[in-house]
Amino acid sequence: MGSGRKNPEVLVIVKTLSIKLPWAEMIMNGQKRIEFRTWKTSYRGPLLIVASKKPNIPAPGSGNTTLPGKSLCIVDIVACRETIFGDYSEPGYPQGGWPRPWYSWIFSSRYIVNRIPIKGRLGIYNYNILDDSIIAAWEEATKYFMNPPF
């Protein structure tokens, strides 16, 4: 990884979030535009979505088992609010009791990236990217999110 770079010392630090399958795959496919969490975030902007290694549950109908532990897409977080009943139709809506408040992280756009292995962590974390394709995608997605074509 990174061996063919023009300048291997240049890297980009990106905000990253690991999400379990099948939810991460559904975000990548555009089937899920809200991520539910028990904590809120003040972060707004691009976020690299990584599929957690476990559990490896493909999205319904996909059968894809090559995604765990890899980068999937970049999304644009545009809002975070307390989850409301109207979110119930979104995949991953918290079922059962509500022992604490849930928060809805709203994504407005997504940008598919090449699959590279990335070690997941809890919460939003900074990840040092050395892969040229992800750096290019990050830069392109950031421009796209700031100046959408519509």
User: What CATH number does the domain containing 81 carry?
Assistant: 2.30.130.30
In this structure, is residue 117 part of a structural domain?
yes
Q: Give the helix/strand (H/E) hosting 47.
A: strand 45-51
In this structure, is residue 142 part of a structural domain?
yes
Q: What is the model's pLDDT at position 92?
A: 79
Q: For residue 70, give both structure tokens.
A: 């890899």
Residue in 69, 79, 62, 49 with CA at minimum distance from that of residue 116: 69
In this structure, is residue 4 part of a structural domain?
no
In this structure, is residue 19 part of a structural domain?
yes
Parallel, antiparallel or unpaired: strands 103-112 and 125-129? unpaired
Q: What is the model's pLDDT at position 80?
A: 96
Residue in 43, 44, 71 with CA at minimum distance from that of residue 137: 71
Residue in 70, 82, 5 with CA at minimum distance from that of residue 41: 82
In this structure, is residue 1 part of a structural domain?
no
CA 144, 131, 129, 20 torsion-angle sign: positive
Contact 58, 25 (CB under 8 A): yes
- Whether the full predicted model's pTM is greater than 0.85, yes or no, is no
- Into how many domains does the chain fold? 1
For residue 99, give its domain range: 12-146
In this structure, is residue 64 part of a structural domain?
yes
In this structure, is residue 6 part of a structural domain?
no
In this structure, is residue 53 part of a structural domain?
yes
Q: What is the model's pLDDT at position 86?
A: 82
Q: What is the model's pLDDT at position 111?
A: 87
Q: What is the model's pLDDT at position 150?
A: 46
Chunked mean pLDDT (size 10), the chain, 150 residues: 50 88 90 92 94 72 72 93 85 69 89 87 87 80 69
